[in-house]
Amino acid sequence: MQAKDVAIVLLAAGNARRFGADKLMADFEGRPLGARAAHELVSVAAAAHFAVCQPDALIAAHYKRLGFDIVENPRADLGLSGSLHLAVDAAMRTDAQALLIALADMPFVQAAHVETLIAACTDNVVASFDGHQPMPPAIFPRSHWPDLLATLGDAGARHILTDAEKIAAPAGTLCDIDTPDDLAASKISLHRIDRLQ
């Protein structure tokens, strides 16, 4: 599949309870944590770029400046699946033949890996792989969108990814940030990843 046939959606509507503050606006090397993945994703020439955010989310302004269309999720309390449903609804208004789902709290995801996922996508779901489990970013052909719409609660698409084709990501690039300690540790990881590039 080609990037022009894909809608990219960044999920950024979580409540960040474990972080204890506005996680996506936390400073990460001079820019908001939630903006780092967005900068990588917007460099991929996709059919559309969406960001699912809570109403009045401060990070939404950064996404708008990057060229993302904002999809508001007023019911973040329904869990990750609610954001997935909104992502599919947004993608269905485009001509995209696949939907790539990424998470805003994964700051090390690289555009090159996203492009590899897109190129590998045919009829099957393709997920990133950290050596242990399949995970986002993941790409879902249009024929699998009903599966996303059937998800419930905060587990999201985890059960769908169990049977996905798996593409290994560069070491350390699939970690997510859930707590302030994660953020501190990730800055060490950032320098390690930069040295490997």
Q: How confident is the model over 152-180, as pLDDT tens digits?
A: 888 788 889 999 999 999 988 998 877 65
Looking at the structure of the chain, the number of domains it has is 1
Q: Whole-prediction pTM value?
A: 0.90
Give the percent of the chain with pLDDT over 70: 86
Work out the burial of residue 69: count CB atoms within 10 Å of its CB; fewer than 13 is exposed, 13-18 middle, 19 or more buried. middle
pLDDT reported for residue 9? 98
| CATH code for position 114 | 3.90.550.10
Per the structure, the complete domain to which residue 110 belongs is given by 3-196
pLDDT reported for residue 44? 97
Q: 3, 45 in Cβ contact below 8 A?
A: yes
Q: How many CB atoms lie within 10 A of CB 195?
A: 7
Q: 33, 177 in Cβ contact below 8 A?
A: yes
pLDDT above 80 (res 122): yes
Mean pLDDT across the chain: 89
Provide the pLDDT confidence category of residue 140 given band limits of 50, 70 and 90. Answer: very high
Tokens of 155: 């587990």
pLDDT above 80 (res 183): no
Paired residues of 52 in beta bridges: 11, 71
What would the 3-class secondary structure string for 120-147 be?
Answer: HCCCCCEEEECCCCEEEEEEEEHHHHHH
